[in-house]
Amino acid sequence: MRPPTPRLVLSVTLAALASPAAHAACALKDVFPSGVYTYRMSGPSPSTYTTTNAARSNSVTSTTTVAGTTTSMTWACTAKGLTGTMSTGGKDNLTTTSSAFLPPLNVWRPGYSWKSDQNVNMGGGITAKSTSVNKIVKRESVKVPAGTFTAWRLDTTSTMTMTLPGSSAPKTTTLKSSVWYAPGTGMIRSENSGVTTELVKVKR
């Protein structure tokens, strides 16, 4: 069995962190609307990337291009919850299942919290389980390069246990992130592990 590549490990982490946004796409399109979004990442390795969202009645597909590598993630609502499939560069295939989704915007309020579970299976023999605690913190004015928005802040703490091929002991990691969603625009800002991502521009 081939050893896991850094891209595979990174994809598992991104899948766990993406789950709140995926739930939002399933529940309400104005949190994950269609369009082409350009984001700027600051941190140890600054970069700019674009994400294209194509929303349908019960699913959304997000295609992201970073440094010439394209990743496509499709999320669909099912009777058991939300299911996601990721394809990176046509080589790696990842499936994520989650247990809950965000409520409609009209019931969002500071202090609202919920838990969600993710099970991840990926080529290369990597599996991961993640439990996330999500909390709506507040609604505030946020300024990013694309403009000033009134946005909801969502904090998430995820505990992820990852099993790698050839490893006898699973590795457990705790990830904390904050995401700001502007109704009708979607994610405008996120903070995670010392990396800040901000919306630069959007094209409908």
- Look at 196 and 5; give whichever has higher pLDDT: 196
CA distance from start to end of the chain: 44
Domain-embedded: residue 78: yes
Domain-embedded: residue 16: yes
Q: What mean pLDDT is predicted for residues 179-196?
A: 92
- Look at 204 and 18; give whichever has higher pLDDT: 204
Q: Is residue 2 pLDDT above 60, yes or no?
A: no
Residue 10: which domain range? 6-203
Domain-embedded: residue 61: yes
Residue tagged 């109704």 (tokens): 183
- Look at 105 and 141; give whichever has higher pLDDT: 141
Number of domains in the chain: 1
Domain-embedded: residue 101: yes
Instruction: Please give the mean pLDDT across all residues of the chain.
Output: 80
Q: What pLDDT, on the 0 to 100 scale, is given for residue 121?
A: 76
Q: What pLDDT, on the 0 to 100 scale, is given for residue 77?
A: 72
When pLDDT is cut at 50, 70 and 90, the band that residue 196 belongs to is: very high
3-state DSSP of the chain: CCCCCHHHHHHHHHHHHHHHHHHHHHHCHHHCCCEEEEEEEECCCCEEEEEEEEECCCEEEEEEEECCEEEEEEEEEECCEEEEEEEECCCEEEEEEECCCCCCHHHCCCCCEEEEEEEEEECCCEEEEEEEEEEEEEEEEEEECCEEEEEEEEEEEEEEEEECCCCCCCEEEEEEEEEEEECCCEEEEEEECCEEEEEEEEEC
Domain-embedded: residue 53: yes
Residue tagged 């291009």 (tokens): 65
Q: Is residue 153 pLDDT above 90, yes or no?
A: yes
Contact, 135 vs 113, CB < 8 A? Answer: yes
pLDDT tens, position by position, 90-122? 455 566 665 555 666 777 899 998 888 888 777
Domain-embedded: residue 41: yes
Domain-embedded: residue 1: no
Q: Is residue 19 pLDDT above 70, yes or no?
A: no
**Cα–Cα dist 130/80, whole Å:** 17
Q: What pLDDT, on the 0 to 100 scale, is given for residue 15?
A: 57
- Look at 49 and 168; give whichever has higher pLDDT: 49
pTM listed for this prediction = 0.80
**Cα–Cα dist 93/134, whole Å:** 26
Domain-embedded: residue 67: yes
Q: What mean pLDDT is predicted for residues 3-27?
A: 52
Q: What mean pLDDT is predicted for residues 121-130?
A: 80
For residue 125, give the CATH number of its domain.
2.40.360.20
Q: Which of 138, 173, 200, 148 is nearest to 9 (CA)?
A: 173
